Amino acid sequence: MQTHPKFCTECGHATELKIPPNDTRPRACCDNCGWINYINPKVVCGVIFHHEDQVLLCKRAIEPRLGYWTFPAGFMECEETTQQGALREAIEEASAAPRNTPVFYANYSLPRISQVYSIYRAELDPNAHAAGPESLETRMVKIADLGQYELAFGIIEHAVGLLVDDMARGEWAVHDCALGGTFDRPEILEYQRLALRSD
């Protein structure tokens, strides 16, 4: 899943995969100039638009999961905030701009694929959307009809589920979720043990 570069991006020398001093994980290291390649998770920004008993879904025009449904979401770009990223994706995928600033809604850790999802929610005029370049179609879908739509990813299904539950309760919450379990690396469990220790 994680690809270590075979050559140093600073000097072009071949790298060696090894655990640097005072570190816990193997990384591509350059013995020539000392460069170390750190691989960190990617952030995905998204926004769930809703109006009364409806949520906005987009039919994906791109792989992976072409033809499946999702809410606007995509990789965060450099030099933007997560909220700006969510709004950019809303324009790119659904030509949708909400009247009010989106509210932070859910954080997802997906350790198995090393991704973090930062998801917002916002009210949307039910007619103010159209397929952008990355979508085949956009639709405001009644919650009662959601079962007819095949959602693109487990995370999308989970987040829509949270929204549906909150709407049913008539109360918004902020959610922090982890999906797919962890690798249970000993060093991560050790950090967790130290962080949670009460003294």
Q: Which of 35, 68, 104, 149 binds Zn ion (CB under 5 A)?
A: 35
Cα 14 to Cα 2, 19, 23, 62, distances in angstroms: 18, 16, 21, 35
Q: What kind and span of H or E run contains 17?
A: strand 16-18
Choices 5-13, 92-100, 125-133, 147-155; region in contact with Zn ion by CB under 5 A: 5-13
Choices 4-12, 64-72, 152-160, 172-180; region in contact with Zn ion by CB under 5 A: 4-12
Strands 103-110 and 36-37: unpaired
Instruction: Count interface residues toward Zn ion (CB under 5 A).
Output: 8
**Hey, what amino acid is at 127?**
N
Is position 156 an interface residue for Zn ion (rule: CB under 5 A)?
A: no
Residue 25 tokens read as: 């994980």
| CB-nearer residue toward Zn ion: 14 or 62 | 14
> Nearest distance from residue 17's CB to Zn ion, in Å?
14
Strands 69-70 and 54-60: antiparallel
What values do phi and psi take at 164, rounded to 5? -60, -45
| CB-nearer residue toward Zn ion: 4 or 142 | 4
Q: Which of 28, 30, 73, 140 binds Zn ion (CB under 5 A)?
A: 30
> Nearest distance from residue 40's CB to Zn ion, in Å?
20
Burial grade of 115 (CB within 10 A; 0-12, 13-18, 19 or more): middle
Q: Which of 4, 5, 6, 11 binds Zn ion (CB under 5 A)?
A: 11
Is position 32 an interface residue for Zn ion (rule: CB under 5 A)?
A: yes
Is position 124 an interface residue for Zn ion (rule: CB under 5 A)?
A: no
> Nearest distance from residue 23's CB to Zn ion, in Å?
17
Is position 10 an interface residue for Zn ion (rule: CB under 5 A)?
A: yes
Is position 192 an interface residue for Zn ion (rule: CB under 5 A)?
A: no
**CB–CB of 92/138 below 8 Å?**
no
> Nearest distance from residue 33's CB to Zn ion, in Å?
3
Residue in this structure with the two tokens 């956009």, named with its chain if needed: 138
| CB-nearer residue toward Zn ion: 6 or 13 | 13
E strand spans, 39-128: 42-51, 54-60, 69-70, 73-75, 103-110, 115-123
**CB–CB of 162/187 below 8 Å?**
no
What is the contact surface with Zn ion in residues (CB under 5 A)? 8, 10-11, 13, 30, 32-33, 35
